[in-house]
Every structure is written in structure tokens, then in C-alpha cells.
């Protein structure tokens, strides 16, 4: 396994996950974290309404039997580098990044919190992100834009091989992901629909939820870059995989498979 030294136990959610009925996605996360023994820290940096966002997830996780949930408010780099913030992660079995605006999460990139999360993955910590919180977990994150006008920046690097996009099918973001992945063709573009997630362990991820995951592989593609940032690129021989719930994807061989619909890691 080779994820830049990080084994990976993550749940990446495309946003708008069901918190009330049939909470399959959040149920899987609670299970990965230890169910009633789970200790989950919710990082609400990405949202403009942190108190409301935390209250919603606290309620959802308590319905799933999790008794220990706390918010870790990080509003700037000083917070992300502070000893109290890193101490808040001590004993946690899971860390959950809420959605919002991923540009707010740039304050965590390269911070002590970022380092602690990377080290925690190697020790069994389970990290999840939804919407903006999911795209920020890659080596590179999409900041904004559509089609040829996409802007990217450094991410937290917890999934170094992936460039993650969210609300994928609902917002027609395939052109955006295609353009973004050409900036790092060796990586994989992963577009996740709403109420859909990929559950990552080691070199494999499983799809769960009600939608589809699109995987863009441009490793062997031919790319001719445009003369300006607003012009379209030329792109040949891209591989595209559409994976509904129950499908698996091998990150080492870059190959999909039909897997057991109710596999558990």
C-alpha cells in the first residue's frame, strides 16, 4: 500500500447526506469510529454557521448511539497551530469535517492540526469530510469555478492520490473535474454525488449511499493546454468509471470492481 505513508481510514461524502432517515452514510461512519464507544470531534471551520452545523451533527450522531461528540472550533491559523486544538484530538476515534466553503479550510493546511490528523490515520483515527470538508482532504482541492475556469489549491493531503469534487451529478461538475485533474494527471479525479460516499481503507474504497461516484483517470491521457486560462483544453483518451453503491475501486491498480453490496471494513 502506498498513500504517501498514510494507510487511510476515511469516509468522503459528496454533501447533503441524510441525517434523519436511512442515515446509511453517517451510520457507516459511526460504526467505523466505534459506535457507542466512539469519540467524534467535529471541525466546523468550513461553515459560516458553526453552531448550527455542530448541533445538526451532534443530534444525528446521538441518534446513532454515539455518546461523545464535541466541536473543535478553528477560526484561523493560530487556532490550528495551538496546543489546545491538538490536545482536543487526543483520545478521539473520529474527526468529521463539515461542509461549507473549502477556502476556509486552507488555514489548516500544513498546520499542527494537519500533522496530527496525518499521524492519527496511521494509529487508527477515522477521518470524514462532507462537501467542502471532503474536497479539502486531497493533496489538491478544488476551490471554485466551473469548466475551464477552475481554481485549485493545496489540500490537507490525507488522500494524496485523489482530487475530490462534491455535489457532483446534481451540479453537473464533470467538466470541472476533467479540467482540474489535468493539472495533476497522475492523480485520480473522484466526483461524489450527494448522499453518497466512498469508504476508504488501505488501497481500496467502497461506494455507499444513494448516488454514484465518478472516477476520472487521466494518467494515460493526451493533454494540450489552452493559450489562456479561460479557453478550453484539448483532452484525449481519458478513462471514466461510474460506480454505484456496492462497487469497489482499487487505488493501486486504478481498477473498479463489482463488490459485495454490504461489505464492511
The DSSP secondary-structure symbol of 138 reads B
pLDDT at 231: 79
Q: How many other CB atoms are there within 10 angstroms of residue 22's CB atom?
A: 10
Q: Which residues contact 115 (CB under 8 A, 6 or more apart)?
A: none
Band the pLDDT of 22: cuts 50, 70, 90. Answer: confident
- Read off the pTM: 0.94
Distance CA 250, CA 202 (A): 9
pLDDT tens profile 29-85: 999 999 999 999 999 999 999 999 999 999 999 999 999 999 999 999 999 999 999
Q: How many other CB atoms are there within 10 angstroms of residue 171's CB atom?
A: 15
Answer yes or no: are the C-beta atoms of 196 and 14 closer than 8 Å: yes
Answer yes or no: are the C-beta atoms of 192 and 166 closer than 8 Å: yes
pLDDT tens profile 123-140: 999 999 999 999 999 999
Please name each of the domains of the chain with its CATH number.
Answer: 9-258 (3.40.50.880)
pLDDT at 53: 97
pLDDT at 228: 78
Q: Which of 200, 184, 211, 185 is nearest to 251 (CA)?
A: 200
pLDDT tens profile 227-253: 777 778 899 999 999 999 999 999 999
pLDDT cut 90: percent of the chain above it: 84
- Residues labelled as active-site residues: 131, 167, 194
Could you tell me the maximum CA-CA distance found in the chain, to the nearest angstrom? 56
Distance CA 178, CA 106 (A): 23
Q: Which of 54, 162, 144 is nearest to 98 (CA)?
A: 54
pLDDT at 18: 95
Amino acid at each position: 500500500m502506498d498513500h504517501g505513508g498514510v494507510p487511510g481510514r476515511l469516509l468522503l461524502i459528496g454533501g447533503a447526506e441524510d441525517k434523519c432517515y436511512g442515515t446509511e452514510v453517517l451510520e457507516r461512519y459511526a460504526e467505523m469510529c466505534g459506535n457507542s464507544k466512539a469519540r467524534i470531534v467535529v471541525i466546523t471551520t468550513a461553515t459560516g454557521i458553526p453552531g448550527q452545523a455542530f448541533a445538526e451533527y451532534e443530534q444525528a450522531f446521538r441518534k446513532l448511539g454515539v455518546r461523545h461528540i464535541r466541536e473543535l472550533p478553528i477560526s484561523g491559523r493560530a487556532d490550528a497551530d495551538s496546543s489546545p486544538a491538538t490536545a482536543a484530538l487526543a483520545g478521539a476515534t473520529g474527526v468529521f469535517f463539515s461542509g461549507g466553503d473549502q477556502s476556509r479550510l486552507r488555514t489548516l493546511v500544513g498546520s499542527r492540526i494537519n500533522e496530527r490528523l496525518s499521524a492519527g490515520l496511521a494509529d487508527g483515527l477515522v477521518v470524514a469530510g462532507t462537501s467542502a470538508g471532503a474536497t479539502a482532504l486531497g493533496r489538491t482541492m478544488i476551490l471554485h469555478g466551473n469548466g475551464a475556469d477552475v481554481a485549485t489549491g493545496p489540500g490537507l493531503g490525507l488522500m494524496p492520490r485523489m482530487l475530490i469534487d462534491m455535489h457532483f451529478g446534481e451540479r453537473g461538475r464533470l467538466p470541472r473535474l476533467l479540467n482540474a485533474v489535468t493539472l495533476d494527471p497522475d492523480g485520480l479525479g473522484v466526483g461524489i454525488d450527494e448522499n453518497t460516499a466512498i469508504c476508504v481503507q488501505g488501497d481500496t474504497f467502497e461506494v455507499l449511499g444513494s448516488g454514484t461516484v465518478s472516477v476520472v483517470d487521466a494518467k494515460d491521457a493526451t493533454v494540450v493546454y489552452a493559450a489562456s486560462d479561460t479557453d478550453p483544453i484539448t483532452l484525449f483518451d481519458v478513462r471514466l468509471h461510474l460506480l454505484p453503491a456496492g462497487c469497489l475501486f482499487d487505488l493501486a491498480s486504478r481498477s473498479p470492481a463489482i463488490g459485495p453490496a454490504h461489505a464492511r471494513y
